[in-house]
Structure 1
Amino acid sequence: MNKVFEKAFQKILRFEGRYSNEKYDHGGKTKYGISEKVAKRLGYDGDIEDLTIVDAKEIYYNHYWKNLNYHKIEDIDIAIESFDQAVNMGPRTATKHLQEAYNLLSDNEIEVDGIVGAVTLDAINNCPHPFELLQLLNIIQGIKYIEIVKKDKKQKKFIKGWLKRTLL
């Protein structure tokens, strides 16, 4: 694990540092931002309430940071933001946000497929406007939160916490 991942993991802990089982949270039972369903799918066989910070760090490093290629994104802030969005909104949604943000800045659009592959990495790592890309990532994330609340008013109770994630 490297310093960039450590920084990304610390960001996650600011938002996701406890056990939660909120009535209207579609993630269900979670700890450190990892839902029970995801933990089981990734091989964790204990009770989600017993998930340790070491377990969470290992899951995030192996199944999010490395597996989703965030470690190959050269701009630290973009890598960390993409990782945070993957934790909160799911990997495909987070990656689509990254690809959509890039396409808004570029005449050479890339496919919005939700996969951080060679084409996406090349585009992101050569983007001449990384700060604007980061801004757009946060704007798109904020719009997604608004859409969620408009679609399901019960989600309104989460909006203030979600919006904290969109600050630069």
Structure 2
Amino acid sequence: MSVNPVINAVLEKEGNYVNHPNDSGGATRWGITEKTARDFGYSGDMKNFSREDAYTILEKNYWYLPGFNKIDKISPALAYELCDTGTNMGPVVGIKWLQRWLNAYNNQGAYYPDIIVDGNIGPATLNALNAFLLKRGKEGEGVMLLSLNCSQGQHYLELAESRVKNESFIYGWMKERVSLAAP
């Protein structure tokens, strides 16, 4: 049963089947590339790849495995943002951005110690996030969301600049992926 509102929101955003000639990921349905579907044992036509199969892959590999469920206990809005980013560009990317921003916002270590930017959500990252939100509160959560979206937008711009075919997607990426709304 599909009950995780974050995964359901990501699935809605990802939409149905697409196989755009400029997309290096190839055939995709529900945000799952054909390669990923095959890696998880799916052998059928991607046009028939089910929402439930996609849900299972997303929840396991883009929610629990990277530890966004742990972030959700601290900040559901940040967990949604990280999961959505992770679905689009890989979980490690968003986690590293979070870690970098946490380091930048620690007032030279006065609020909490710097953490290693390793793309893993471990105790140090969770402790730093808790300390950041304790110090900055709800406003800080909004600033962190904005910060993560700035990094994401910059990444999309670099993708479009480095591969002209990505210009086919940048408007949609910015419109659909870079926002402060949560489910």
Q: TM-score with structure 1 length normalisation? A: 0.90
Instruction: Write out per-residue CA displacement over residues 124-156 of structure 1, whole angstroms, 9 at most, x where no aligned residue.
Output: 233222221111000100000011111112111
Bigger radius of gyration: 2
Please list every run of 5 or more consecutive structure 1 residues that lacks an aligned counterpart in the other structure.
none
1:26 maps to which of 24, 33, 36: 24
Distance 2:55 2:35 in 1: 17
- Equivalent position of 2:136 in the other structure: none
Distance 1:18 1:136 in 2: 29
RMSD: 1.8
Q: In structure 2, what residue type is equivalent to 1:150?
A: E
- 8 Å Cα contact 1:101-1:140 kept in structure 2: no
- Equivalent position of 1:167 in the other structure: 179
- Give the C-alpha shift of residue 27 in structure 1: 1.6
- Equivalent position of 2:76 in the other structure: 76
Q: How does 1:55-134 map to 2 (within 5 A)?
A: 55-73=53-71, 74-106=74-106, 107=109, 108-128=113-133, 129-134=140-145
Residue 155 (1) aligns with residue 166 (2): yes
Distance 2:2 2:125 in 1: 22
State the secondary structure of the residue aligned to 2:129.
helix
Q: In structure 2, what residue type is equivalent to 1:10?
A: N
- 8 Å Cα contact 1:75-1:125 kept in structure 2: no
Please list every run of 5 or more consecutive structure 2 residues that lacks an aligned counterpart in the other structure.
134-139
- 8 Å Cα contact 2:66-2:91 kept in structure 1: yes
- Give the C-alpha shift of residue 103 in structure 1: 2.0
- Identical aligned residues as a percent: 37
- Give the C-alpha shift of residue 88 in structure 1: 0.4
- Give the C-alpha shift of residue 2 in structure 1: 8.6
- 8 Å Cα contact 1:102-1:124 kept in structure 2: yes
- Give the C-alpha shift of residue 61 in structure 1: 1.1
Where has structure 1 moved over 4 Å in runs of 4 or more? none
User: Which shifted more, 134-143 or 111-120?
Assistant: 111-120
- 8 Å Cα contact 2:152-2:178 kept in structure 1: yes
User: Which shifted more, 35-44 or 74-83?
Assistant: 35-44
Count of matched residue pairs: 166
Q: TM-score with structure 2 length normalisation? A: 0.83
